[in-house]
Amino acid sequence: MRGPHNIIRLIRTGATLERTGAMNVVMDAFEAPTLVRVVLRGLVWPFQWLGYKGDAEAPPLPRALTALGPAYIKFGQVLSTRPDVVGGDLAGELRVLQDKLPPFDLATAKAEVESELGQPVDQIFSEFSEPVAAASIAQVHRARLRETGEEVAVKILRPGIEKAFRKDIDAFYFAANTIELLSPGSRRLRPRDVIEHFDRGVTSELDLRLESANASEYAANSADDPGYQVPAIQWEHSARRVMTLGWAEGAPIGDNDALDAAGHDRHALGSRILELFLNHALRDGYFHADMHQGNMKVAANGDIIVYDFGIMGYIDEYTRRVYAEILYGFIQRDYKRVAEVHFEAGYVPADQDVDEFARALRAVGEPIFGMDATRISMGRLLSYLFEVTERFGMGTRTELILLQRTMVVVEGVARSLDPRVNIWDVAKPVVSDYIKESIGPRAMLSDLAKTARVLSRFGPRLPAMVEAALIAQSEDKPEAKRAVWPWVVTGVGLGAVCGVVATLAVGFVMWS
């Protein structure tokens, strides 16, 4: 990583915010104290000439983020889903970052397709439109396959996008390392690990073959979800920088007027989006992690259509259970249990007081319940939650970063459809069902069967392992051979017991 280059890049970031007028917008949105405003502006004002001008016709913050590049645009996309955090006007301004950025020209797009697919565009497609949507990483064209007449969407990566992202990520790593060096207290937040997590996600977005695989797996998992569509991938017309999939026809989720005109129930749509996300996260452990308005439409029949599968989230079964228990505890207002789960999972250091932590969680959760969703300030709630994590020494859980971030985005989308949508009301039946399935008696037997199957696999290897142990020990200490035999008997017995338990448990689970 190049230190001087990154220092200049970070200075230029602040200078661009100041030059475009976005600095004040950001500080107003997050209600920054006067001292912070004075210090920040004092630091960047002398360097504002280094900042990018951006599009003078665009509002200040979208202008600055677009000028700074794709990694910053990603941040703006997250903010665009949270009118309750940044305000409705600013969220509306930022929504252009989802799919209305300046496109690259049609000739360049066709050249990219021909280079990647090895055929002229006219041989593959009978129709190929101008760009219909352009985001930070790629743009989309509407086309028609010459062979079948099927209408498709063709997604093409922006030229040079890999180099642009690498430059931003390089600067982010430098900033994270500097923060950890200068502020030891920040290490609990693991800024470098957070950037590494972001880096991995971005890398997968820059290879459309991986995105195609993501879409295929996601479609298989959600095939039986009613009212939900995932466009089919056209594998023969997809490559590293080009992806072809079925065309999604419908009203954009972000256009409330169009949804109303089509007669859709926006409250039901918002609740359904939340429900689907929670089901995919808990049931499958594999979820769409970029569910902002620009990546969803509503079909004429009311089905939700989702696309853009560059960022997907995966959480293992153990983490899903921890997450579900935490959610369920909040829903039941059982803050003591929520606190205990945090301690059991190692999220809070063992030297902290569980009862005190439970009281702090109550102060986070109680404002949510019994209050109309429109009156809940997620900005203040998240701010207080951050204070709680700092007070109790909680480190950043990188395995939950994408899940938490997506939950914030999805809730923002749902509330943009109808501010009365309350995530806890929607979550209760989903989480309750998952708890019954994953933590009840049947789940315990299923876990036992899995454990027994794993242990029983070592059965064929036990003789060789025992013989190797006997030889190794008897060479030095002949009496060690006698000491090993109890372990031999125990190992053989354990293998036999595991085999029996596995058979009985698997049979019970299949029968029930």
Which residue carries 């969680």 as its tokens? 361
Structure tokens at 280: 């995919």
| Cα(374)–Cα(381) distance, integer angstroms | 13
Element (H, E) at 314: strand 312-314
The CA radius of gyration of the chain, in Å to the nearest whole number, is 27
Nearest to 282 by CA among 366, 100, 406: 406
| Cα(255)–Cα(235) distance, integer angstroms | 31
- Please state, as a whole number, how many other Cβ atoms lie within 10 Å of the Cβ of residue 318: 10
Reduced to 3 states (helix: H, G, I; strand: E, B; else coil), residue 131 is strand
- Please state, as a whole number, how many other Cβ atoms lie within 10 Å of the Cβ of residue 375: 8
The yes-or-no answer on residue 224 being catalytic is no
Angle formed by the axes of helices 317-332 and 335-344, to 10°?
160
**Count of CA atoms in the C-beta half-sphere (13 A) of 225:** 22
Exposed, middle or buried, 256 (CB in 10 Å: 0-12/13-18/19+)?
middle
At 126, give phi and psi (nearest 5°).
-85, -25
Choose the catalytic residue: 199, 290, 355, 425.
290
The 8-class DSSP code of residue 376 comes to: -
Catalytic positions, written as ranges: 290
